[in-house]
Chain A
């Protein structure tokens, strides 16, 4: 595709509900990142994939957060039993390979009520 695509753009979840956020990276991009951005802050790293391998998940805030990229293309970030503190914008980025120019999607704004 022309750019990184994320869906849904907006998600409202009731506290305790599970959510799944999708990221379609630029075709052929090996590296894929998920970031979390709180209001007024810079993006914070969550996790990194190289193809289908999740090489770094050190930024995931709790074991309620899970990410996968089973075929090395589309990625899903899943949050179980959502809490109010999970409310943020979740950004996905891809790059051709490690440490190259990163391209970001529009993000998914998650609001937990």
Chain B
């Protein structure tokens, strides 16, 4: 059974810091991987999708990479801002399946 671990579980940093959030899968045969953001009481907002043929994706200050050999992904946030405060979730879809399996998230707080 696929299990997803996100480290750290919570993070509090001053504004302007560069951050790295980690995600690892027990089954490294990841086909697609998505990073999401969730604000309190809200649904999930898709941030980045790394598809089967890709190793990383970038959007603005966000960069996500996937090492398929180890089943690990990192989300890099550059020059963090208070508006980045949210829970960040990674979800992977393994080869041969269609459903995304989620980690428990990293709760990020960026202090002004």
Binding site for B on A (CB under 8 A): 4, 6, 31, 33, 35, 40-45, 48, 50, 55-56, 91, 93, 98-107, 109
Contacts and interface: CB of A to CB of B under 8 A. Distances in A.
B46 A103 contact: yes
A99 B104 contact: no
A104 B99 contact: no
Task: Give the interface size class of chain B.
Answer: 20 to 34
Given A102-B34, A104-B36, A41 B43 contact: no
Interface in B3-25: 4
5 contacts: A35-B102, A48-B98, A55-B98, A104-B36, A104-B43
B44 interface: yes
Contact of A31 (B36, B98, B105): B98
Given A31-B98, A56-B99, A109-B41, 8 more contacts: A44-B102, A48-B98, A99-B32, A99-B93, A102-B91, A104-B36, A104-B44, A106-B43
